[in-house]
Amino acid sequence: MNQQTDRIIIFDTTLRDGEQSPGATLNVDEKLAIARSLARLGVDVIEAGFPYASPGDFIAVQKIAEAIGSENGPTICGLARATRQDIAKAAEALKPAAKSRIHTFLATSDIHLEYKLKKTRQDILSIVPEMVAYAKTFVNDVEFSPEDAGRSDPEFLYQVLERAIAAGATTVNIPDTVGYTTPAEFGALIRGIKENVPNIDQAIISVHGHNDLGLAVANFLEAVKNGARQLECTINGIGERAGNAALEELVMALHVRRSYFNPFFGRPAESTEPLTQINTKEIYKTSRMVSNLTGMMVQPNKAIVGANAFAHQSGIHQDGVLKHKLTYEIMDAESIGLTNNQIVLGKLSGRNAFQSRLKELGFDLGETDLNKAFLRFKDVADKKKEITDWDLEAIVNDEIQNAPEVFCLELVQVSCGDHARPTATVIVRNANGEELMDAAIGTGPVDAVYKAINRVVDVPNQLIEFSVKSVTGGIDAMGEVTIRIKHEDRIYSGHAANTDIIVASAKAYLIALNRLYAVLQQKEQEAMV
């Protein structure tokens, strides 16, 4: 059975590895929203989570398998260590999916064997085929990863992969777990696997890599040239430490430089057949959703999806682009779904028009979320004459975050000026319906608001990041606020949008506090059991 493919399989791990970014923790509803966006994007495999890691992760994987895992949808994958309990838990969570995959892993580098696993090479050679075979009893599609492959002895790695494939692995994933390798080294590693693993033609070679040295995408593209046919990546490149290889960068590199990569797939250089099945026009929208829901802002100069990616400041560049786009642009902004910021709706627009436009933008909301978003739209339309697609996305993403709402903002009022002491009054409603009111003085209006909230919401935390940006141009633009707070070495994020950035700041802070409070409550309940 030859498992090689003539195109690239995109394996998205935003909901698993991406969620491991500090502060990027997502609840089940947020994960579902991102999973639906990934399905519209056209990813082949969604790694939905690590079912054994927590009850929340199990439920998220199960719900994504139910909602997204149709016969025509992407394969839904669950991560599992090479242990029976992990694998069985993943299999249980994945049951609702028409196409499911168990992704099991075990380290192979000597440094991991000695210091983390306390196992010998012979132990690994015994465990891997046993656990792959066990996973195979639940699903036909099994992926095996030798963790820290980039620092493993190649000869030992070949033996492990051969046994994994013989036991039933249909994909073998080669992780550069710590972002250590360079493109030439990583390409040579993949080439060595192709040449030295006797049964490698029975599995697809996948790669997974971190961006600690800023080389993840370059490493992957070199791996593609040497036979890798599945790329494990995340939206906006989020993930542990410096993040993962960015999906949008990989996909657009293969799209823009198709004539260069075609020969590595046995195609004529001039072939126009896509190398992935990604709908590139969904890239920008998916990027913004992930950024909003995780609180991980995209840097302005980020490739493909950054705010400046298609901006030209230099007079020479501007002149050239006006005469012919290709003088300074290698791709069209519209190819990633970045269209002109056109007016689409106004305050007289009805609910049906609003719903229809949201569907065109890729948002298929349930009745409750639609009603919330429509009321918010009307409120914004009363304050802002021109409502754009970007405004609509900000409204919807803000309303469907579904953070646990124990504390709800009822009122925020500030007084400030260059000769006044910034003062804020807030009213917060708690879960019992009680309205808690207090006031505080701060160094600025936002500081005063946060101090006032802290007086009525007793959830100890440290504010470590506050950022605000405009959704669109104009003096009446909506402002998006993202904050990150820290409690006991764990980070929680909050994101909100409003035409009043003070209101957005207060709401973002309460969203983060609600997330922190939910975790503290869960810990209390677990301690009582």
pLDDT of residue 206: 98
Q: If 0-12 CB within 10 Å is exposed, 13-18 middle and 19+ buried, where does residue 293 land?
A: buried
| pLDDT tens, position by position, 229-274 | 999 999 999 999 999 999 999 999 999 999 999 999 999 999 999 9
453 touches 428 (CB < 8 A)? yes
Percent of the chain's residues with pLDDT above 70 = 93
3-state secondary structure of 414: strand
- Nearest CA to 52 among 10, 22, 96, 94? 94
DSSP codes joined into one string, 119-163: --HHHHHHHHHHHHHHHHTT-SEEEEEEETGGGS-HHHHHHHHHH
- Kindly state the tokens that stand for 36: 């639906």
Q: Is the per-residue pLDDT at 289 higher than 90? A: no
> What per-residue string of b and e applies to 126-137 under the rule 16 or more CB within 10 Å gives b?
ebbbebbebbbe
Rounded Cα gap, residues 482 and 504, in angstroms: 9
Rounded Cα gap, residues 481 and 466, in angstroms: 7
| pLDDT tens, position by position, 299-350 | 889 999 988 887 754 454 444 544 555 555 778 888 998 765 455 677 778 8
Of the listed ranges 116-130, 293-307, 514-528, the least confidently predicted one is: 514-528
- Nearest CA to 149 among 97, 209, 81, 93? 209
pLDDT of residue 3: 54
Q: Is the per-residue pLDDT at 386 higher than 80? A: no
In the block, tokens 């929340």 appear at 56
Rg of the Cα trace of the chain? 25
Most confident of 19-28, 379-388, 420-429: 420-429
Locate the domains of the chain by residue range.
9-294, 343-399, 408-528
Q: Is the per-residue pLDDT at 448 higher than 90? A: yes
pLDDT of residue 314: 46
pLDDT of residue 242: 94
Question: What number of residues does the chain have?
Answer: 529
Greater confidence (448 vs 329) lies with 448
In the block, tokens 């992704």 appear at 103
| pLDDT tens, position by position, 453-470 | 999 998 999 999 898 888
Fold classification of 9-294 is TIM Barrel (3.20.20)
255 touches 7 (CB < 8 A)? no
314 touches 296 (CB < 8 A)? no
CATH superfamily of 408-528: Alpha-isopropylmalate synthase LeuA, regulatory domain (3.30.160.270)
| pLDDT tens, position by position, 49-72 | 999 998 989 999 999 999 999 999
pLDDT of residue 325: 59
Mean pLDDT estimate for the chain = 90
Percent of the chain's residues with pLDDT above 90 = 65
* Mean per-residue pLDDT, 267-294: 93
Q: Is the per-residue pLDDT at 1 higher than 70? A: no
244 touches 211 (CB < 8 A)? yes
Report which residue type is found at 392.
L
What does the angle CA 446 – CA 27 – CA 136 come to, to the nearest 5 degrees? 150
Other C-beta atoms lying within 10 Å of the C-beta of residue 529: 4
- Kindly state the tokens that stand for 353: 């028009």
* Mean per-residue pLDDT, 92-119: 96
With cut-offs at 50, 70 and 90, classify the pLDDT of residue 201.
very high
Most confident of 356-360, 380-384, 448-452: 448-452
pLDDT of residue 143: 98
Of the listed ranges 119-123, 350-354, 397-401, 424-428, the least confidently predicted one is: 397-401
Rounded Cα gap, residues 160 and 174, in angstroms: 12
99 touches 71 (CB < 8 A)? yes
pLDDT of residue 390: 72
* Mean per-residue pLDDT, 266-283: 96
Other C-beta atoms lying within 10 Å of the C-beta of residue 2: 7
| pLDDT tens, position by position, 135-177 | 999 999 999 999 999 899 999 999 999 999 999 999 999 999 9
